Structure formats: structure tokens, C-alpha cells
Amino acid sequence: MRLLALSEPERREWTEGWKLPLIAAVGMAMSASPNLTLGALMTAIQEDTGWTRLQISAGTGIMSVVMIMLAPIMGHAVDRFGSRRIALPGLAMFCLALASLSIAGISKETWWAGWTFIAVSALFIKSTVWTAAVISRFSHSRGLAIAVALSGSGLASFCLPFFLTLLQQSFGWRGAYCGLAVFFASLSLPAAWRHFFDAADQRRRDNSLSALVDRSNLPGLSPREIFRSRRFAQLALSCLLVGTAITALSVHFIPILTSKGAAPLAAAGIAAGIGLSSVIGRLMTGLLLDRFSGPLIGLTGFALPVAACILLLVDSGTSYAIVVAILIGLAAGAEFDVIAYLSARYFGLRHYGLVFGTVVGLLSFGAGIGPMFGAFMFDHYGNYENMLLVVAPTFVLSGLLIGSLGSYPVLPAPDAAPS
């Protein structure tokens, strides 16, 4: 237990900045919600509109294209302007976009247009915005602070399936989107306006500094060194693979269970276990990252869903469904923690927004492909077995890429970093 206890510098950071990771967690919950809404509402949307699951899931494909094209630019904007100036308008815009899906289902074209609005607004509240703020104010307890911030997506996975299913049963799937938008707006906007400040925001507020952020005094590699390195290529490819596999598995988890005979509300209850276990996995991963090898932790975490796929393949019913949900959740919990932490440890803070924005763009691209891939496999084969046979080795490969990154480098001092 002493190994996991916080040191005095770590406690001091939490005393001074505890509100920041919590607000970031709310933002992460919102960022994770689009895919979660599809998992909970897909059957209702299909029954109401008559569209195929691939057509419904195409919205995530739109998100993936927007993310991979614009996420690096947004990461650079975070480096240049700070997190607050990106997050505040982004939260408001995302809530409007989420509500717009309630009227976007008139036709497939308007549905996809609504998802384009979602994709653009989601750029402003992706994990790059939240983790950049957190790492700027936490150094001794960085792994745990990142874990708390990113646990918002796990809490969303735990709460939203129930919440959305209840809203859908009472008000229909359109009312569910409106209700979720109102809930997020009332929860996030007041808190972020009052308390969401990264280190540069604090200095600017205290000293009336320029709106631009000077990051030249931070250690790290140059963009040329980063993007030409083997480690970045491995991290980027791993993000693409694990993003595709984990969302294919998690978004279609409720449909997988219902295809095995589970009632929709019961399936949503089991799927909530993904969120709860991801929070536990995320917090434990954050503590471990501050003390042990990140690549080893990543290799272990990314391998867990392989067992989940095997259990789903061999079980004709839902006997192991809770165990599968826990395994998926633990992996999802480790995923973002490891990527966010290793981005800073291997490449530094000087261009963190650009680096993490790029890998998150690839992760989001995979996250958009995953649900579409699962829907395509179901539409084509009439079951999910073939999807599971593909995503299992994908998890293995992504884990090996992370596990072979090597020891942490000694990053150049600010005056030594090439421009």
C-alpha cells in the first residue's frame, strides 16, 4: 500500500489543482458520448428509420475522417492558445450538435450532416484539450491526474447506457439526444467557466499576458525529430489499431448480447460494467504509470480484450458477459492513460498538443472505423463471430507495438531543442 501512497509533492499538486482533472473528466465524458449513444440507441433508430446498421454507424466514419484531418491542427492550436480558449466554445457547440441529432434523422443525408456537426464540435473537446491542461499543472502525480481526467469516458460508459435506454423508452431516441445535450450543458459549462485554467491560463490571468502561449521554455523534441522517429510510428500505428478494435467491440457489445438472447435493458446493465471497470483500470493504470514501465503496462492492458473475444466466441449465451465487460473496460481504461502518458515521456511537453493531437486523430479515426466495421460484418454475415476473429489479433499487434517502445529517453533541455 505504501507503494501506491502519494508523496508530499504529489499531495501538494492535488491540493492546489484538484478541480482541473474533475472538470476534464466531465469533458472526456462528453467526448466519449457519440459512440456510446449509437451503442444504446442503434436498435431503436433502425426500427424507426429502417436504415441498416452500417448506414446508422456511418456517422462515426464521418467523425474519423474529420479527426484524422484536423486533430493535429487542433493540437497545435492548444499549444498556441491554451486549453481554456479551445474548451469553452467547444463545450457549448458540442451540446448544440448533440441536440441537433434529434432533428437530423429525417433522412440519411440529414443524419450524416448532423454527425458532421458532431465531428467538428468534438474536435474542441477531445482528450488533447483536457490532458494538455492537466499535464501543465501536474508533474509529480501526472499519471494519476491524467487517469482521473480520462476516467470521465469510463464513467460515461457506465452511466450513459442506462440513462439513454431510460430516456429512449420514455421519450424516443430523438428525445434521448435532446435530454443528453441539456444534461451535459448544465453540468459542464458553469464549472469550466469558473475553474478550468491550465498553467498558462493562470499566468496569463495573473499577469495579463498575451493570448499566445510561450512553450519555448519546455523540454522536448522538435516536430521533425518526433515525426521521423521509430517510436512515434509505433505509437501512431498502435493507436490506429487499438482504436479500431476497442470501439468495434464496445459499440457492438449491447447488440452482441441481444443477439445472444439478452433483453435490451439487461444488456445495457451488463454493458455498464465496461464503464465501471474502465474507471478502475484507468485509476490503477495512472498510479502504476508513475511508478513502473509504461510500455509493459500498455502491453498488458492491450492484451486483455483478446480473452474477451475468446469468451464471446466460445459462449453461445451470455454466461460470461459480465467478465467480458470487465475485460473490455480494463483495456479501455488503460488505453488512453498509456497513450497520453507515453506521448509526454517520449516526446516532451514542448509540442505535446501537436503530438497527442496527431495520435488522438489516428485513435479517433480507428474509433470511427471500428463501429462501421462491426456493422458491416453483421450486415454481411448476420452475426458477430467474424468480427471477433479479426479484432482479437489486432489487440495483440497493438500491444506488441507499445511494449517494444523501449526505455524513456533523456529529452533535450529547452535551449538544446532544435527549432
pLDDT attached to residue 419? 43
For the cut 80, the answer to whether the pLDDT of residue 396 exceeds it is yes
Measured between alpha carbons, how far is 242 from 246 in angstroms, rounded to an integer? 6
Measured between alpha carbons, how far is 409 from 416 in angstroms, rounded to an integer? 15
C-alpha dist (Å) from residue 242 to 45, 146, 216:
27, 19, 33
pLDDT attached to residue 3? 43
Per cent of the chain over pLDDT 70 is 90
Rg of the chain in Å (alpha carbons) = 20
Measured between alpha carbons, how far is 294 from 134 in angstroms, rounded to an integer? 18
Backbone angles phi, psi at 118, to 5 degrees: -60, -45
Give tens-digit pLDDT for 169-228: 888 889 999 999 999 999 999 999 988 988 776 666 655 555 545 555 666 677 788 888
Measured between alpha carbons, how far is 159 from 163 in angstroms, rounded to an integer? 6
Q: What average pLDDT score do residues 22-40 get?
A: 87
Give tens-digit pLDDT for 95-118: 999 999 888 767 888 888 999 999
C-alpha dist (Å) from residue 263 to 62, 165, 312, 417:
30, 12, 17, 58
pLDDT attached to residue 417? 47
Mean pLDDT, the chain, whole residue set: 84
Highest average pLDDT, of 20-29, 309-318, 367-376, comes from: 20-29
pTM of the model: 0.72
pLDDT attached to residue 418? 46
Element (H, E) at 75: helix 53-81
Per-residue H/E/C for 354-397: HHHHHHHHHHHHHHHHHHHHHHHHHHHHCCCHHHHHHHHHHHHH
Give the chain's domains with CATH numbers: 19-195+222-400 (1.20.1250.20)
Give tens-digit pLDDT for 343-366: 888 888 778 878 888 888 888 788
